[in-house]
Structures are given as C-alpha cells and as structure tokens.
Structure 1
Amino acid sequence: MLTTAAATLLAVSSAVVPATGTDEVPASVEVASVNGSGCPAGTADTSASGNTFSVSYRAFFAQAGGGANPADSRRNCQLSLRVSLPPGYTYGLAATSYTGFAHVEEGASALHRVSFYFQGTSPTVAVDHPFTGPLTGEWRSDYRPAEIVYSPCGDDRNLNINAELRVRTTDPSKRSFLVADASRGALRAKYEFAVKPC
C-alpha cells in the first residue's frame, strides 16, 4: 500500500483594507471537514490556528493495472473550509498547488483535477493536470485564476476544494499510479460595498 505524509498550508493575508476596498483583509480559516475515497477517516490529520491550516495525507493515491482493484482507479479528497471575516467582507480562492509522484506506464494516462465551489452552489472552476505515459517522477500543478471568484455577499458559506486523482491503463498487467502528497493555497478577501437608493 502506498503511504504519503505531507503538510498543507493555507496562508490568508491579514492586511487592513484601505479606502479603495481592493486589498486583502483580516480573515480566520479553519478546516471544517476532510473526507472522500482518497482520505477516509483516520488517514488525514488537520490543524488550524488563526488564518492558517494544515492537512497531512497518508492514503491519497489512485492506481490501475498490475492487479489493482478497479475501484482504486479514481480517488477524491474534499476539504471544506470555514472562513470568518469582519461584516461586509467576502473572499475567494487566490491560488492553490498540489505536488506528488506519478508512475504512468506506456499507453496509460492519469489525471489530477481540482475544483472548488462555495457551499450550496455548483462547481465554479475545475482545473485539469493530465499525465501521459511513459512517465515516472515528481509532479506539481498550480492554479492561479486570472479573476478570483468571490463568495456570495451576505452569506456565510464554506469553501469546498475537491481534488481527484484518476488513472487509466490499456495493459492490465502493468501498474500505473498517481499520488498527491501535498497541497497548499491562499484565500483573498475584499470589501463589498452596499448600495441602496436614497
């Protein structure tokens, strides 16, 4: 069985917003839950303090071929983040990155997908990082949106970040696998001005 242990760090800026309302503002984040087929109970450890959190994964991998169970070809791990902000502020995901290790045989392929959405809404962004065999080595995927999608103003909604690993092979005698061993990201918050007619 593959075992991974990695730390995840989410940094949220704590600068005071100026009059322009465009810079980052104080925030506090906590990991509300970690679950999925790639991080079942007892295989992920979390901690949070102020505006940072960390997650250590010990079983987030997908594999196919070489006698692997067909159900192992797709795994996911979803983080649900609870973010506390001063009244009148909103936040969005500014960046996230994942690192891991891949062994993909010739003729096989693998995929790392990250999507995020605010609680009660449909996924707003999905980013794919494909792998084509033959390939063996470390990998990294980065997501930094050109335009940040912010949470709905006036609603207290968790941010869900779902990561998937998928492996497909054309030769069932040869094992291919994809491991995610670390991730980190950053939130950005901004002030939303309320406007009403006089």
Structure 2
Amino acid sequence: MLKFPRTIRLDPSDTFVFERAAEPGEWAVSGAFVFWNQNPATLGSKQRVALRSGFLGINSLGWSTLAIVTEASEAERQAMIERLATQLLEKFGAPDAEAARLAAEEEIAFAASLCDHPPQTLLAVQRNVEGGEIRERFRTLKARPVAADADRLHTHASAFTYHEVEGDVEPAEEVDLRGLIRTNAKTDRT
C-alpha cells in the first residue's frame, strides 16, 4: 500500500483560523505553491496562518493545521493527481493540461514522501519565507504513553496535551486557541 496525507480536524480551530478550512479526510498536499510569487506582507492574517502552518486539501482547496498518514491504493493516487491537475488548471492558471498534470504528479509525490511513518501518524508543517523563498519544516506528532494510574478523563481533555514533537523544533508563534474560542463564543452570544 501507498501512504499519503489526509486532512484531520481534532478541534474546530481550523474553521476560524483559515479563510477556508479543509474538510476532514481530504487528501492533502503541502500547498506551498499557493503562495508562490506572492508577497507575504500583502497577505491577510488568515492567509498568513495558512502560509505558516497549513496543509492544502485537494478537493476543497481549504487548509488544515494537521494531516494524518493514511494508506491509499494506486487508483486513489491516480485520482489525487487528476483532481489536483484539474484544480491547477482551473484555479491556478496552469498553461495546459499536460503542465498541470506534471505539477500535480510532483506535488503528490512530495506529499507521499512526507508519509514515511506508520499509518495514523500526525503531520504538522511550519513555513517561513527566507530570502524570498518558502522554507518548510515538517514534524510528526505521536501520542505520549499514558501512565497506568493516570486519570483517563484528564488524558483526553485536549488533543494538544498528549502529543510529543519529533524532528526539528524552532520557537513557534503561539496562538491562544482557548482565547479565540472564548472570544468567538462571546461574539456569537451578542
């Protein structure tokens, strides 16, 4: 079996941090090409979040903070290539179908290269722009072992409390998701 990333939504944060959130379970690619030839200083705040930390869902062209390594068949891989090629032609101005297909094959191959991990491994991306080029760093997130006497109600309080980061780690921009949820909840009530 082949392995590719799929979008995953562990909480509702993607629906308000991105302009368009990917649907859970979509096949995903890095999506850095969306920002090619754009000045990050001119991007809106939600576009900057996508640039910094989003995987692109192939069907919706929405963003996901996390992706999950998932097994796929060759037929599914071919369908991913065809769908992404169509998107590149229709939405991103690829010069012709052949160029769109070649670019889609390259993006899908890169996405597969990120999945050299066991199925169900979570993937995260961190991007920045250095010298006019987009640099990407990918990390894997795995569940911490739960102590035998741990209170099981507390171990599942938040998806972000029981994961460890493997790979290169740099200081990251912090987002107060709870604060955003509280602010959003207050706005919805008024």
User: TM-score by structure 1 length?
Assistant: 0.23
**Larger radius of gyration between Structure 1 and Structure 2:** 1
TM-score, length-normalised on structure 2?
0.23
Q: Please state which structure has a larger fraction of its residues in helix.
A: 2
Higher strand share: 1
